[in-house]
């Protein structure tokens, strides 16, 4: 699972984790029943405190996007289609707004920004197939 956190982002790190996992579930990159890394493992991989990842997982569980089964771990729960579509639309809008702000702050050309997104999607696709 590919997650990226930015400590300099005004969005809290636990929320960055939560929203990225939410988007991966909504997009199908994380499928129903898939086991997630343990909280401890994900915290170690990202260089974070265990409590930060635990908070993200608690929020995801409250939203019924994941299910924790004690020692067995945490697993993806695919939301109902109508809920998934609304969450996907909202998540895409939030991600687009954040990206647009970053493009503006960096004073990037719009076409260069669009190409950067295409490149990122290509890298993600290549990693998924590899």
Residue 129 pLDDT = 60
Is 5 inside a domain boundary? Answer: no
Cα separation, 106 vs 108, whole angstroms: 5
Is 101 inside a domain boundary? Answer: yes
Residue 62 pLDDT = 92
Is 120 inside a domain boundary? Answer: yes
**How close are the terminal C-alpha atoms of the chain, in Å?**
13
Query: pLDDT, tens digit, for every residue of 34-65?
Result: 999 999 999 999 999 999 999 999 999 998 89
Is 6 inside a domain boundary? Answer: no
Domain containing residue 22: 13-129
Question: What does the mean pLDDT of the chain come to?
Answer: 87
The mean pLDDT value for 92-112 works out to 87
Instruction: Tell which wins on pLDDT, 87 or 71.
Output: 71
Domain count along the chain: 1
Is 8 inside a domain boundary? Answer: no
Query: Which domain CATH number covers 67?
Result: 1.10.10.10
Is 1 inside a domain boundary? Answer: no
């Amino acid at each position: 699972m590919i997650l990226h956190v930015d400590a300099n982002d005004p969005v809290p790190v636990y929320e960055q984790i939560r929203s990225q996992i939410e988007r991966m579930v909504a997009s199908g990159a994380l499928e129903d029943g898939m086991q997630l890394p343990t909280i401890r493992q994900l915290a170690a991989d990202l260089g974070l405190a265990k409590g930060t990842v635990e908070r993200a997982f608690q929020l995801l569980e409250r939203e019924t996007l994941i299910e924790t089964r004690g020692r067995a771990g945490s697993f993806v729960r695919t939301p109902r289609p109508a809920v998934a579509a609304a969450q996907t639309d909202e998540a895409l809008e939030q991600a687009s707004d954040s990206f647009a702000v970053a493009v503006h702050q960096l004073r990037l050309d719009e076409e260069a920004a669009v190409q950067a997104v295409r490149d990122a999607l290509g890298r993600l696709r290549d990693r998924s197939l590899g």
